[in-house]
Amino acid sequence: MYRHIQVSPCTARIGAEISGVDLTAALGPEQVEEIRRALLQFGVIFFRDQPMGHEDHMRFGRCFGELIVHPGAPGIEGFPLIVAIHGDANSTYVAGEQWHSDLSCNAEPPMGSILYLHTVPPVGGDTLWADMYSAYEALPERMKAYLDGLTAQHDANHVYHALYHDYDKAYPRNDHPVVITHPESGRKALFFNPQYVSHFNGVSDAESRMLYDFLTAHCADARFQVRFRWRPHSVAFWDNRCTHHLAIWDYYPQTRSGFRVTLKGERPTF
Ligand code: SIN
């Protein structure tokens, strides 16, 4: 099935480690096609021992689409498309400590993100991903019928206002279906984001809160998850349309550091 890369699945549902590629050099079209196929098949794919510079990181990302500027995290100096992901002894916050998919608040949420870490703590700092196809498929039929056609508001304002105290600034806020059809695989996935969803449309506040709590717990079921233990110069590439992720900050005061790029997506559809 794969002739130009090696693919080793991490769990029965989600995640695979890819080897036989050098992300510090230009990839051939066959490798790009197989990496895209592995991403679609496994939701998140991992690479080891890839000491990428910023240009390598962007070149790799651009094999899969256009890179976008993050509306809530400034790019690093000279590289507006690259955001720093960093935690150390001086940090009071690190990104991604709540289950989420990236920037579902955008009108066109990203198709994927690519995170490269050059420095990791001796232990800890793992990231978890959860498979939202499995989360959808595991729902009772009555709940699937209830969610069919429902939309939720994905609002970034509370997230970034709490972080930056810039209450006058408007961050993206958009409605999206709660169940989407993945544009490439054609499979149905839950598209719910505990970090950004402020409410479900067309239901009472009480019902919206109940649904939020139910879906938050449901999506965090360990059966849907893969947990990745980073090493220096590891790379994770995930599909934001069908996965959630969670970064664990259990390594204070150690340093964990790297960079992320984000790939343009399209408006989700039922
Ligand atoms: C994020 O993109 O949410 C950060 C993930 C991580 O630091 O592992």
Q: What is the pLDDT of residues 59-86, one digit of tens each?
A: 999 999 999 999 999 999 999 999 999 9
Q: Which residues pair with 200 in a beta bridge?
A: 152
Report residue 97 as tokens.
Answer: 């400590």
Instruction: Name the burial class of residue 239, with classes exposed (0-12), middle (13-18) and buried (19+) by CB atoms within 10 angstroms of its CB.
Output: buried
Q: For residue 26, how many other CB atoms are within 10 A of its CB?
A: 12
The radius of gyration of the chain's CA atoms, rounded to the nearest angstrom, is 18
In this prediction the pTM is: 0.97
Q: What is the mean pLDDT of residues 162-175?
A: 95
Ligand 1 pocket, residue 70 CB under 6 Å: no
Does the CB atom of residue 115 touch ligand 1 within 6 A?
Answer: yes
> What is the distance in A from the centroid of ligand 1 to the CA of 202?
32
Q: What is the pLDDT of residue 89?
A: 98
Residue 198: per-residue pLDDT: 97
SS3 content of the chain, % helix, strand, coil (to 5): 25, 30, 50
117 lines ligand 1 (CB under 6 A): no
pLDDT of residue 4: 98
